Amino acid sequence: RQASYDCWLQYEKIRDHEYYNQYVAYSRGIAVVGDSPILKSALDELERGLFSMFGQKSTVYNEAAKEASIIAGTFESIPLEDYGLNKASLINMNEEGYLLKAVKDEEKIIVAAKSDKGVLYAVHHLLRLLQLRESLKQVNIVESPKNQLRMLNQWDNMDGSVERGYSGQSIFYENHKITTNLERIKDYARLLSSIGINAISINNVNVWKVETKLITNDFLPDVAKIADILRAYGIKTFLSINFASPIEIDGLQTADPLDPDVKTWWKNKVEEIYRYIPDFGGFVVKADSEHRPGPFSYDRNHADGANLLAEALEPFGGLVIWRCFVYNCLQDWRDRSTDRARAAYDHFKPLDGDFLDNVILQIKNGPMDFQVREPVSPLFGALEKTNQMMEFQVAQEYTGQQKDLCFLVPLWKEVLEFDTYAKGEGSKVKNIVNGSLFNDKFSGICAVSNIGNDENWTGNTLAQANLYGYGRLIWNPDLTSEEIAEEWIRSTFGQDPSVVEQIKQMLLDSWSIYENYTAPLGVGWMVNPHHHYGPNIDGYEYSVWGTYHFADRDGIGVDRTIETGTGYAGQYYSPNKEMYNNLETCPDELLLFFHHVPYTYKLKSGKTVIQHIYDTHFKGAEQVEELIEKWNGLRGKIDEIRFVNVSERFQLQLKNAKEWRDQVNTYFYRKSGIADENNRTIY
Ligand code: GCU
């Protein structure tokens, strides 16, 4: 098996004597007390990691034996007092939290948690400390995840394809069946549990014909097998469902959420699902969105639709995760008053408070669709009486499709740190999605996954950093991008400081580089329709999708102001509302998202808009050449397979960046007739 397959769980042999001697005694005897499936996974991972790093098998005890140096278990199962630990002091920890502590003159490490899941997370943390060469001598860590649901959405179809997948085929399905390669799913579960993911929906939000039947006994026995594997790693299984299921599965006349037969149908259906999967997580629902069926067909609203399913799931503790990606996808480009950016807020704000307790609204981070730069969705903060969660996209649909390098943690951090002012200063998005600001019963973060059946999971090996970074960031949004990048590199490529520094810089620069050579100043899109890779400035300009830049010979941008535009800026709380609405205070990077300005408009940087476009596009392409040079400097310092994989991707990125540079610059030169101040080549 190639190193790239193991991602950040390399557990490379510790060759440095200093560290080896410091750690090795801990690895000789280990105890994991208890034998639930999750604790078995914890023991498995611990044995595997230690064996691989120290080259010797640990002796395993199933009780807190004197001889064991690492002792893991729940608070109930290990004698905390014997190690001078006091349970009462750990009471603030949440259900998934844990303690890692050196005791008995630093000779033993206690790995203790409230739940089995916490033990598994703690074991991963311990192994991470070893991979990062942290000292264990005085280790004393009390840790709890900051978000409740930490979820991934697979956009996998049962024919084996992955919607917006850039790394091969699905690991879950082939030929309209559930895969028989359950080993790979187990390996995925290992990766996910190591970064704290605790929920996953295993099929595409667009639920097609065969997938609609995932909730029937045609497939439930096999879904249950997947759920069994994931459960042993602390991960709950969810399914995306088709709102029209009663019609499509059992030939009912209607799927009207208020129809008594439809209600009964869902109740029976849910009961059936729980017979196969007793801890089933619930449903993810894309309804009345991009031609998927929903309550609108029956003149009902989204609360009616979501509550129908919520009532059926409630007796079993299941959740409805209802997506807010609802907008008119048959817009007339001539119509300047309709604004797709407004849609989520306009649809869902009026329903605030109408959803049942076990419904969570899933909101994309921006109001459009995972562009390289968007403002934060104004729905965050606007919903005061409704459970809500964030939706990110780890898959790089609009950010280079895992050919181009784009480390997304800094983008996600900006979103989570955004202050909505919903309850005055300090009402940050991270405090909304962790449930604290509005005291939500259920909350969290989910994201579209970026993996497929490629040997290295993510196509571009460096895209593994996004999956790792996503998990780590949503576990603790206060980690910095630098910390996360460094953890990932050291666990993935080892300790050589020159490798660590070089790759870290590359990752941290990459989002801004990608933004430089693609769509400028927050305007977005300008991509090839359908597949969304590469430039096409007018690709979506005269389409039905509501994604326009409105460039003419005089200027560019979308007027979303309150006075003369679509009024979108008014969906924010003050002072964000005024900041975006006012040309003078709108940040440069979002200028064209909120305003239509002449090419000669001067940015806060002192440059005109047109000169900014030229400069960033020349610079972006040059920066890609620099990335390639930096990567070439690593040849021989990392294994050849991973080196070559990334090199090949960089060649594609360079081609892409040049194409973007030349098409964007040429387009705007031809539109505006304004020459580049530096006389560089524009076609
Ligand atoms: C984007 C993406 C689609 C996806 C949709 C969604 O529009 O291109 O493939 O189905 O988002 O999030 O539902």
Question: CB of 246 within 8 A of CB of 259?
Answer: no
Q: How many whole angstroms separate alpha carbon 152 and alpha carbon 248?
A: 27
**Residue linked to tokens 């070089």:** 502
- Backbone torsions φ then ψ of 312, nearest 5 degrees: -70, -35
Q: In what order do the strands lie in the sheet with 59-61?
A: 59-61, 29-32, 70-74, 108-113, 98-103, 140-143
Task: Give the torsion sign (CA, 435, 449, 531, 488).
Answer: positive
pLDDT of 88 reads 81
Nearest CA to ligand 1 atom 1: 369
pLDDT of 90 reads 82
Average pLDDT on 632-659 reads: 98
Q: Residue 88: how many CB atoms within 10 A of its CB?
A: 5
340 within ligand 1 shell (Cβ under 6 A) = no
**Residue of 206, 288, 290, 528 to mutate, ligand 1, most atoms within 8 A of C-beta:** 290
Mean pLDDT of the chain: 97
In the three-class reduction of DSSP (H, G, I as helix; E, B as strand; rest coil), residue 661 is classed as helix
pLDDT of 161 reads 98
pLDDT of 509 reads 98
- Per residue in 431-480, pLDDT (tens digit) is 999 999 999 999 999 999 999 999 999 999 999 999 999 999 999 999 99
Q: How many whole angstroms separate alpha carbon 131 and alpha carbon 493?
A: 10
Nearest CA to ligand 1 atom 12: 325
Question: CB of 327 within 8 A of CB of 344?
Answer: yes
Q: Residue 583: how many CB atoms within 10 A of its CB?
A: 13
CA 325 / ligand 1 centre spacing (Å): 9
- Per residue in 21-55, pLDDT (tens digit) is 999 999 999 999 999 999 999 999 999 999 999 99
| Residue type, position 119, single letter | V
Q: How many whole angstroms separate alpha carbon 562 and alpha carbon 568?
A: 7
Confidence band (pLDDT; 50, 70, 90) for 87?
confident
pLDDT of 473 reads 98
- Backbone torsions φ then ψ of 470, nearest 5 degrees: -60, -50
- Per residue in 468-511, pLDDT (tens digit) is 999 999 999 999 999 999 999 999 999 999 999 999 999 999 99
Determine if the pTM surpasses 0.95: yes
Q: How many whole angstroms separate alpha carbon 588 and alpha carbon 516?
A: 13
pLDDT of 91 reads 78
- Per residue in 297-345, pLDDT (tens digit) is 999 999 999 999 999 999 999 999 999 999 999 999 999 999 999 999 9
User: Could you give the C-alpha distances from 531 to 105, 164, 402, 678, in angstroms and in order?
Assistant: 59, 8, 13, 34
- Per residue in 219-262, pLDDT (tens digit) is 999 999 999 999 999 999 999 999 999 999 999 999 999 999 99
Active site residues: 290, 369, 397
Give the tokens for residue 220. 């439930």
CA 286 / ligand 1 centre spacing (Å): 10
Give the tokens for residue 593. 């998202």
164 within ligand 1 shell (Cβ under 6 A) = yes
Rg (CA), the chain: 26
Q: How many whole angstroms separate alpha carbon 574 and alpha carbon 561?
A: 14
Give the tokens for residue 147. 């978000």
User: Could you give the C-alpha distances from 527 to 397, 501, 509, 538, 548, in angstroms and in order?
Assistant: 11, 33, 22, 8, 11
Tell me the residue ranges of DSSP E strands in 196-258: 199-201, 236-241
